[in-house]
Amino acid sequence: MDHFVRRDGRLFAEGVPLTRIAELHGTPTYVYSEATIRTHFDRVREAFSTIETHISYSVKACPNLAICRLLQSLGAGFDVVSGGELARALEASGRGEEIVFAGVGKTDDEIRFGLRAGVFFFNVESRDELIAVSRIATETGSTARVALRLNPDVDPGTHRYITTGKRENKFGIDLVAARALAREATSLGGISIEGVHVHLGSQITDPAPYGEALDRLREPIADLRQFGHRIQWLNVGGGFGIFYRGGDAIPAESFAKVIVPRVRDLGCRLILEPGRFIVGNAGVLVTRVVRMKPSSEAGRFFVVCDAAMNDLIRPSLYGAWHAVWPVECAAASDVDLRPDEGILADVVGPICESGDFLAKDRRLPAVASGDLLAVRSVGAYGFSMSSNYNSRPRAAEVLVSGDRVRLVRRRETLDDLLGPERGLE
């Protein structure tokens, strides 16, 4: 479900034609729909309303300050994984007590920053980190509230790069080591272990692995309690998947049905860290066709756009599939094309490697240079993973609310690009 709709052959973000946004702000531009974000946030909130739940929006999915502020106004806290994300969350909300600080390699400086900000939880991923948090908190005369991130060794059935809860992944503490740590932690100052954290991976479309993981946490939680740690919070992470090819999102209720009774049974309150589910369908990338180039295979084309893998790396990195279609077109998708209509195309960027593509082997209407294309469902891990590769300034970001268009990140300039290197000789 999203609020990008085609009216009279033109794609709109809520009440605004994407052609208008391209005129105002150029291309490539990320366009987000506030109504779509609100809808998905509400879906999570409603699905988990039967248990006390903190929804910590996972900033990494789409870190734009305007979106963080919007989510905070809806009642979200934040899940951050770096000093930079912590600074963003603080700028958006000003409230450290709404932030959980995760990440497998927080530096001492980042831990100090988290302590100063008074974060709600440190999600601690190793014995080494627990000792560091204890030492730094003791030095600074503070107490860190800690959730131990445990690795349940459960396969969530997603891409291997975004699987995080299996034994071979770098994340979390294995369940046997957790027992020893529960004992050792009783002698560590400056920390109060009040939670357990688990995050299985991302783009998970089957709720069953959540059930399996939570069942595996029963014993470690009992152990922790036996050693006097008052475990009151279970942080189940993020990972709720979305549909990239049509259809509505997997209902949040289907995850809630598996998660809520188990968390209740364990006598805990719930923390969730959703990212993609909230913003994934809420963004499109608007790009202009720069050149049409016939391939050496008859009937095939390279549609060369002004967006590239530096703007959206998901297709190149994970083989991810995103719908791509002209912004202005009577047909809404290839099923609406007559068999004799259209072209077979690879939609590519101008970057100097063959891994630079947004879509491969697509049947498209016969587009021409100058046409606008929309790449769909790029709200999560789209702009946030973009880079300056090939010295390309990063795209603009725009937030649409009804008929209102707000530039929420200006397009980078050549000065932004060169500034950090100038004046150093």
Residues with a catalytic annotation lie at 352
Q: Comparing C-alpha atoms, which of 231, 244, 246, 232 is closest to residue 202?
A: 244
Of 88, 145, 262, 276, which one interacts with ligand LLP (CB under 6 A)?
276
- Could you tell me if 272 and 238 are in contact, meaning their C-beta atoms sit under 8 angstroms apart? yes
- Looking only at the bridges linking them, the beta strands covering 191-197 and 300-305 are unpaired
- Could you tell me if 15 and 402 are in contact, meaning their C-beta atoms sit under 8 angstroms apart? yes
N residues, the chain:
425
Cis before residue 28, ω within 30 degrees of 0? yes
Q: Where are the beta strands (DSSP E) in 143-282?
A: 144-151, 173-174, 191-197, 233-235, 269-272
Of 102, 147, 312, 358, which one interacts with ligand LLP (CB under 6 A)?
102
Of 77, 114, 238, 365, which one interacts with ligand LLP (CB under 6 A)?
238
Q: Is 303 in the site for ligand LLP (CB under 6 A)?
A: no
Of 77, 190, 237, 283, which one interacts with ligand LLP (CB under 6 A)?
237
Q: Comparing C-alpha atoms, which of 86, 87, 79 is closest to residue 58?
A: 79
Q: Is 64 in the site for ligand LLP (CB under 6 A)?
A: no
Q: Is 250 in the site for ligand LLP (CB under 6 A)?
A: no
Q: Is 375 in the site for ligand LLP (CB under 6 A)?
A: no
Q: Is 34 in the site for ligand LLP (CB under 6 A)?
A: no
Q: Is 12 in the site for ligand LLP (CB under 6 A)?
A: no
**What is the x/- site pattern for ligand LLP, positions 386-425, by CB under 6 A?**
----------------------------------------
Q: What are phi and psi of 352, to 5 degrees?
A: -85, 55
Q: Is 63 in the site for ligand LLP (CB under 6 A)?
A: no
Q: Is 33 in the site for ligand LLP (CB under 6 A)?
A: no
CA atoms of 278 and 276, how far apart (whole Å): 5
The contacts of residue 159 (CB under 8 Å, 6+ apart) are 203, 318
Which amino acid, one-letter code, is at 135?
R
Among residues 315 and 326, whose Cβ is nearest to ligand LLP?
Answer: 315
Among residues 132 and 385, whose Cβ is nearest to ligand LLP?
Answer: 385
- Could you tell me if 280 and 250 are in contact, meaning their C-beta atoms sit under 8 angstroms apart? no
Of 314, 362, 376, 394, which one interacts with ligand LLP (CB under 6 A)?
314
Q: Is 223 in the site for ligand LLP (CB under 6 A)?
A: no
- Could you tell me if 236 and 210 are in contact, meaning their C-beta atoms sit under 8 angstroms apart? yes
Q: How far apart are the first and last CA of the chain?
A: 53
Take residue 380 and report the two structure tokens written for it.
């999560």
**What is the x/- site pattern for ligand LLP, positions 164-203, by CB under 6 A?**
x----------------------------------x--xx
Of 83, 165, 195, 274, which one interacts with ligand LLP (CB under 6 A)?
274
Of 11, 31, 61, 308, which one interacts with ligand LLP (CB under 6 A)?
61
Of 85, 273, 328, 397, which one interacts with ligand LLP (CB under 6 A)?
273
CA atoms of 369 and 291, how far apart (whole Å): 5
Q: Which residue has the tokens 């095939």?
A: 300
Q: Which stretch binds ligand LLP (CB under 6 A): 46-54, 106-114, 224-232, 380-388?
A: 380-388
* Contacts with ligand LLP, residue ranges (CB under 6 A): 58, 61, 79, 102, 162, 164, 199, 202-203, 237-240, 273-277, 314, 318, 380-381, 385
